[in-house]
Amino acid sequence: MDAAICLFSSDLRLHDQPVLHAALRAAPRVVPLFVVDTGIADAGFMVPNRAAFLADALADLDAGLRERGGRLVIRTGDVVTETCRVAAETGAGEVHLAAGVSGYALRRERRLRAELASAGRALVVHDAVITALPPGAVLPSGPGKDHFAVFTPYFRRWQAAGRRSVLPAPRSVRVPAGVRSEELPSARVLCPDGTPSPALPEGGERAGRRRFGAWQRSGMADYQDRQDDLPGDATSRLSPYLHFGCLSPVELVHKASARRDAGAEAFVRQLAWRDFHHQVLAARPDAARADYRARGDRWRFDRAEVTAWKEGRTGYPVVDAGMRQLLHEGWLHNRARMLVASFLTKTLYVDWRVGARHFLDLLVDGDMANNQLNWQWVAGTGTDTRPNRVLNPLVQARRFDPRGDYVRRWVPELAGLAGPAVHQPWKLSGPERAAYDYPDPVLDLADGLVRFKRARGLD
């Protein structure tokens, strides 16, 4: 076999890249291929923020390949059609691909396998590329159990499982002569409609490795104590790089585990949560749109309330701060994600799918497994063992933003309110209240709790 194809998907990197590594072993020449999937755009999932990050990541990947004598080949269209076309043009006998877990990825993989086989070619799918441990690698005891539905027992098995070694980046990549490539796409080409958020991170493997290196040196040790600190912003912010595969979760687990400190252990636990959600979605692909555990919810939809939530104008400052951070950065602190999601689903009692879709429209790290299943966890339709827990925004604010600094950062019209008073501006006297251009609460928290309890039959 003279040529093989490395079909990049959510694994846009050269370090610890099993797909490229296997393709280079299989043939003397390799086509590093990325297909701009028009199916994703047609489904509405190519949004400005992710398009901008993807454009950066593709440019960085191409630069890394050129340093090694290769280049990234770009095609646009249906992934199966374009990959088979490149295979025919180059005589490639094998196509190597990272395993996905979404229903869309699995259907695409089945189609590609069948089309290649009809032409006498093979598809080779590689595990532990997008996740640290492949879905299904560890299973609960008992017949018919195809995934873990509770995180803690999964995490114990995940910790005990063996992990593959970290692979070095290739020294050279030889691409077949004459293979046609389109130009690297810009964000505007990838997503003609809409403008990216003003404070997006730089995409690509090199940016991701710099960010991880800096955070490992200066932030990881304190992560256990500060991961919920809203104003401190002490999380790694690596989720976009993991979503696009600019960083390897296997490599991150190895490097963090070698430290053996509490901060590193807490970080590894978060990587395990990511794997947990991927193994749930792999076993239950319909959980991307259907309740994992139906609770008989008859969700409300009040357009004015939902609009206030999306715009960060609910009248609850810590909720509004989170939603405005999302609008500005295309990213949101994990604690803020939980409290704004709880407010929508448990206080306003709005269908989790409304919030999940809004997040996917804005998040740079908009990942089907983690976004949808985290929303279900908060809504009580997912894997949470306490499905009726409600995160009170005032309690959350006092605990995770005690001085109000996070709120003042993102709700500037309240910046003149000192200390924790910023969390309850409705308590100001009449003249003071009139001085602040900030809305009254969309509803009373007690009324929202009564509404939720009645809906779930808890009253």
What's the CATH number where 243 sits?
Answer: 1.25.40.80
What was the pLDDT predicted at 435?
79
Sorted by sequence, the CB contacts under 8 Å of residue 34 that are 6+ apart come out as 7, 8, 12, 58, 61, 72, 73, 74, 75
Q: Tell me how many domains the chain contains.
A: 3
Pick out the residues of the known binding site.
223, 235-239, 267, 365-367
- Residue 424 backbone dihedrals phi, psi, to 5 degrees: -135, 65
What was the pLDDT predicted at 436?
83
Residue with tokens 């925004």: 393
In this structure, which amino acid lies at residue 316? Y
In this structure, which amino acid lies at residue 298? R
Instruction: Pick the last residue of a domain from 219, 250, 283.
Output: 283
Q: Which residues of the chain have pLDDT under 50?
A: none
Give residue 66's Cα distance to chain centre. 28
What was the pLDDT predicted at 167?
98
Domain assignment of residue 199, yes or no: no
Q: Are residues 279 and 422 in the same domain?
A: no
What's the CATH number where 106 sits?
Answer: 3.40.50.620
Domain assignment of residue 290, yes or no: no
- Angle at which helix 352-362 crosses helix 303-311, to 10 degrees, equals 30
Q: Are residues 136 and 125 in the same domain?
A: no
Q: Are residues 237 and 278 in the same domain?
A: yes
Q: Which of 52, 10, 20 is nearest to 249 (CA)?
A: 10
Instruction: State how far the Cα of 342 lies from the Cα of 382, in Å rounded to an integer.
Output: 13
- The answer to pTM > 0.85 is yes
Pick out the residues of the known binding site for FAD.
223, 235-239, 267, 365-367
Q: Are residues 144 and 275 in the same domain?
A: yes
Contact predicate 208/246, CB 8 Å: yes
Q: Are residues 158 and 272 in the same domain?
A: yes
Q: Are residues 357 and 428 in the same domain?
A: yes
In this structure, which amino acid lies at residue 281? L
What single string gives the DSSP state of each residue in 6-35?
A: EE-SS---STT-HHHHHHHHH-SEEEEEEE
The model's pLDDT over 143-194, given as tens digits with 9 standing for 90+, comes to 889 999 999 999 999 999 989 999 999 999 999 999 999 999 999 999 998 8
In this structure, which amino acid lies at residue 324? R
Count of residues for the chain?
Answer: 459
Q: Are residues 137 and 97 in the same domain?
A: no
What was the pLDDT predicted at 348?
97
What was the pLDDT predicted at 420?
94
Instruction: State how far the Cα of 152 lies from the Cα of 398, in Å rounded to an integer.
Output: 28
What's the DSSP call for residue 343? I
Domain assignment of residue 311, yes or no: yes
Regarding beta strands 3-7 and 94-98, do their DSSP bridges make them parallel or antiparallel, or are they unpaired? parallel
Residue 171: CA atoms inside 13 Å, Cβ hemisphere, count? 0
Q: Are residues 102 and 150 in the same domain?
A: no
| Angle made by CA atoms 20, 23, 26, in degrees to the nearest 5 | 155
Q: Which range of residues forms the domain containing residue 272?
A: 131-163+206-283
- Residue 35 backbone dihedrals phi, psi, to 5 degrees: -105, 120
Q: Are residues 415 and 308 in the same domain?
A: yes
What was the pLDDT predicted at 125?
98
DSSP H helical ranges for 284-333: 303-311, 317-329
| Residue 43: C-alpha distances to residues 47, 194, 225, 243, 330 (Å) | 10, 16, 40, 18, 20
Give the Cβ contact number of residue 301 at 10 Å: 11
Contacts of the segment 217-222: beta carbons below 8 A, 24+ positions apart: 219/263, 220/256, 220/259, 220/261, 220/263, 220/264, 220/267, 221/261, 221/263, 221/264, 222/263
Domain assignment of residue 193, yes or no: no
Q: Are residues 88 and 213 in the same domain?
A: no
Regarding beta strands 3-7 and 122-126, do their DSSP bridges make them parallel or antiparallel, or are they unpaired? unpaired
Give the Cβ contact number of residue 298 at 10 Å: 7
Contact predicate 449/455, CB 8 Å: no
Contact predicate 427/451, CB 8 Å: no
